[in-house]
Structure 1
Amino acid sequence: MNSFLNTGSTIKFYGYMPDGAIVNSCDLTNKNGMQLKVITFGATITSLKIPLKNGSFIDVVLGFDTLEAYLNSFHLKSAPYFGATVGRYAGRINNSTFSLNGKLIDLNSNNNGHSLHGGNSGFSQKQWKIKNVNEGKNPSITLSYFSPDGEENYPGDLAIDLTYTLSDQNELIIEYVATTLEDTVINLTHHSYFNLDGHNSNIQEQDLSINSNNILETNEHNIPTGQFLNLENNLFDFNQAKKCPQTIDTTFVLNDGDKISASLFNPKNNLGMLVFTNQPAVHIYVGGNCFNTIKGKENADYHHLSGICFETQNFPDAPNHNHFPNAVLRKNEVYQHKTMYKFSKLGKANFKEI
């Protein structure tokens, strides 16, 4: 990694882990001035600044100023996972168990007896290694993590490469590639809370669109029942853009095709974000509350309407539902996940009109 430091890259010291391990940060800037900051703890995006026409910048993701705050946030009564990479399995797995190749797997439980976002210490709390940095046109950083067999009781050694790219079209491109030495399950996602009015604002006047006609039905613990709910005449039908809901924690089944998966639009500054993915679903969550316990960046007080997550992924609890998309990664297979967030000046995106 020292070679990067000697080539003029923007890798800097960020903090020390409790065990003394060094956490670094990396800044990327595209030709338009769009700026991304990533830290090796959790492969976490801490800042994403978008240039506006008046020459100013707006930071559109929630986060903290210090490593200590990120570490402490996982001890809140509801950890926010600001900007983190979530795995080995994003979302909930019912009763923390599933069967694979006829064997029952018992995972660590961390959410009402269920496994959420990888368990007690998922990928969002791991130290990732910087594998490569490319500067200049479409700058990028690749981080890697090796998850050993048995981590959080998941089977199989799993190797992951994660690449963040800032394109010259003001796109944040996230690409995951993973391989395993033994059959396992995998479902990775990115957990930034977006706010196109700035990280210290709220999202209730911003417009949300989702290219979906169905959501997953869930029980009282937000575990999928295996059934689908049609969104016709449903309050969560966002094919036509409307204001962000104040409460949502829902998995939307994305419609087939190469169209936009979802969008967010801020009428105050006409800034829009389009979401594209090769995943079958996007989990939408509004929140960011730090319960007046931890201050956000620039001393911000984050609350229950501070940001909105677009967690592109497979279905939660898919290993327990044969009719859900396959979540098993076989030995000698390659997991590939690509999601893109494109920022531009645009109007509302109504998917029935695209």
Structure 2
Amino acid sequence: MSTATVSAFGQLTTGDGVRLYTLTNARGLRAAISNYGGTLTSLLVPDRSGTLGNVVLGFEALSDYQSPPYLQANPYFGALIGRYGNRIAHGRFALDGRQYQLAQNNGPSHLHGGRQGFDKVVWAAETGSGPDGATLTLTYHSRAGEEGYPGNLDVTVVYTLTDDNALRIAYSAVSDQATPLNLTNHAYFNLNHDAGTDILGHELTLRAGRYTVVDDTLIPTGELRAVADTPFDFRTPHPIGARLSQVPGGYDHNWVLDAAPGPVAATVYEPVSGRTLHVVTDQPGVQFYTGNFLDGTLTGRHGVRYGKHAGFCLETQHFPDSPNQPAFPSTILRPGHTYQTTTEYRFGVQGQLRG
């Protein structure tokens, strides 16, 4: 039987109390989510021998998410991202004849909603159950002008840990004024995380024939380049590390998902544990990031140091800098319309136990 429980997770420096919500499905999988930033702090799934292990980077205590080293590195472990996931060039965009200036918190760019994005607010939370499993519903009211964005925005995010071993994240939002919106989750996965190894041996498949070319500040140039004959071609499985040295700085790019044959955006297989991950989404893109900026200064559960390539992200999304790129799919939410998108991270195993 699926269950949802709640426990104290600590206090913010403001004195506000924060809670941790643990969803367990009928097969014993467990997802722990804090209402601080809607942060997925751990996700326990079985390996090929049936042993549960954590597959996301995170911490056991709220204080770790508030520590100076974490805030300085700001890796967004497991957090909900908004209003705009990814980058907006120079933190500026024009909408309906008006210019807007956002925080420039990533070099010259605006990144992941600004200095106080959705990853750093306390969400209202309510546990429940649905036909597919235990749920956690998070809501947040983002006031007009927050981080420079127009419109009062009401956001709802529902986490469901399904009884068929998927973590579903369903996002919805309404606004009283036109505003850019691009919500995602910034989980770092490592399907053999408990071993303290990097993710370079994970085998990745991405259903994408093109990617968005970026400049040296990771802002798209507007070109959607074919992946054929490049280290960005994951249309057939490749170890993440096999061609990484051919990509200056590592992978941190948006792939343009193919319209066919279906909603599976990515598949990952970790050969030692046998764990598999299938990412299913209705979004047009996915940001594949290989933890290039992790440097070992942060330590997670069981004393594991989070060094370079300790985890990978598959952030389902619209494209970076879309408010300034008219040829990209629009990210503008207008009054009277509802923003809705859903992504599932489906877990399984492959192969027999190695002797």
TM-score tier after normalising by the smaller chain length: over 0.9
**TM-score by structure 1 length?**
0.92
After superposition, where does 1:1-354 map in structure 2 within 5 Å?
A: 9-72=4-67, 76-134=71-129, 138-199=133-194, 200-245=196-241, 246=244, 247-257=250-260, 258-287=262-291, 290-346=294-350
TM-superposed CA distance for 1:260, in Å, is: 1.4
TM-superposed CA distance for 1:289, in Å, is: 5.4
TM-superposed CA distance for 1:75, in Å, is: 5.0
Tell me the distance in 2 between the aligned counterparts of 1:22 and 1:214. Answer: 44
Of residues 75-84 and 310-319 in structure 1, the stretch that sits farther from structure 2 once superposed is 75-84
Of residues 168-177 and 198-207 in structure 1, the stretch that sits farther from structure 2 once superposed is 198-207
Please say if residues 73 and 80 of structure 1, whose CA atoms lie closer than 8 Å, have aligned partners that are also in contact.
no
Residues 266-291 of structure 1, C-alpha deviations (whole Å, 9 max, x = no match) = 11122110001000000000117553
Of residues 334-343 and 196-205 in structure 1, the stretch that sits farther from structure 2 once superposed is 196-205
Q: Aligned residue for 1:351? A: none
Tell me the distance in 1 between the aligned counterparts of 2:224 and 2:8. Answer: 47
Query: 2:224 corresponds to which letter in structure 1?
Result: F
Q: Aligned residue for 2:247? A: none
Q: What number of residue pairs does the alignment pair up?
A: 340
Please say if residues 70 and 298 of structure 2, whose CA atoms lie closer than 8 Å, have aligned partners that are also in contact.
no
TM-superposed CA distance for 1:137, in Å, is: 5.5
TM-superposed CA distance for 1:156, in Å, is: 0.5
TM-superposed CA distance for 1:198, in Å, is: 1.8
Tell me the distance in 1 between the aligned counterparts of 2:208 and 2:26. Answer: 34
Shift in alpha-carbon separation, 1:224–1:136, aligned structure 2, 3 A: closer
Query: 1:287 corresponds to which letter in structure 2?
Result: G
Quick one: percent identity of the two aligned structures? 35
Tell me the distance in 2 between the aligned counterparts of 1:151 and 1:314. Answer: 21
TM-superposed CA distance for 1:136, in Å, is: 8.7
Query: 1:231 corresponds to which letter in structure 2?
Result: V
Shift in alpha-carbon separation, 1:95–1:36, aligned structure 2, 3 A: same
Tell me the distance in 2 between the aligned counterparts of 1:234 and 1:323. Answer: 24
Shift in alpha-carbon separation, 1:73–1:233, aligned structure 2, 3 A: farther
Query: 1:244 corresponds to which letter in structure 2?
Result: I
TM-superposed CA distance for 1:51, in Å, is: 2.3
Query: 1:122 corresponds to which letter in structure 2?
Result: G
Tell me the distance in 2 between the aligned counterparts of 1:53 and 1:235. Answer: 30
Of residues 226-235 and 290-299 in structure 1, the stretch that sits farther from structure 2 once superposed is 290-299
Tell me the distance in 2 between the aligned counterparts of 1:293 and 1:213. Answer: 36
Residues 149-200 of structure 1, C-alpha deviations (whole Å, 9 max, x = no match) = 0000000011111011111110111100101011111001111111111253
Q: CA RMSD in A?
A: 1.7
Shift in alpha-carbon separation, 1:41–1:74, aligned structure 2, 3 A: farther
Shift in alpha-carbon separation, 1:9–1:209, aligned structure 2, 3 A: closer
Shift in alpha-carbon separation, 1:94–1:74, aligned structure 2, 3 A: farther
Query: 1:217 corresponds to which letter in structure 2?
Result: V
Please say if residues 297 and 307 of structure 2, whose CA atoms lie closer than 8 Å, have aligned partners that are also in contact.
no
Tell me the distance in 1 between the aligned counterparts of 2:145 and 2:270. Answer: 44
Residue 194 of structure 1: SS of its match in structure 2?
coil
TM-superposed CA distance for 1:19, in Å, is: 1.1
Residue 256 of structure 2: SS of its match in structure 1?
strand
Tell me the distance in 2 between the aligned counterparts of 1:9 and 1:171. Answer: 15
Residue 199 of structure 2: SS of its match in structure 1?
coil
Tell me the distance in 1 between the aligned counterparts of 2:98 and 2:226. Answer: 34
Of residues 276-285 and 72-81 in structure 1, the stretch that sits farther from structure 2 once superposed is 72-81
Tell me the distance in 2 between the aligned counterparts of 1:288 and 1:128. Answer: 29
Please say if residues 4 and 134 of structure 2, whose CA atoms lie closer than 8 Å, have aligned partners that are also in contact.
no
Tell me the distance in 1 between the aligned counterparts of 2:45 and 2:309. Answer: 21
Please say if residues 74 and 80 of structure 1, whose CA atoms lie closer than 8 Å, have aligned partners that are also in contact.
no
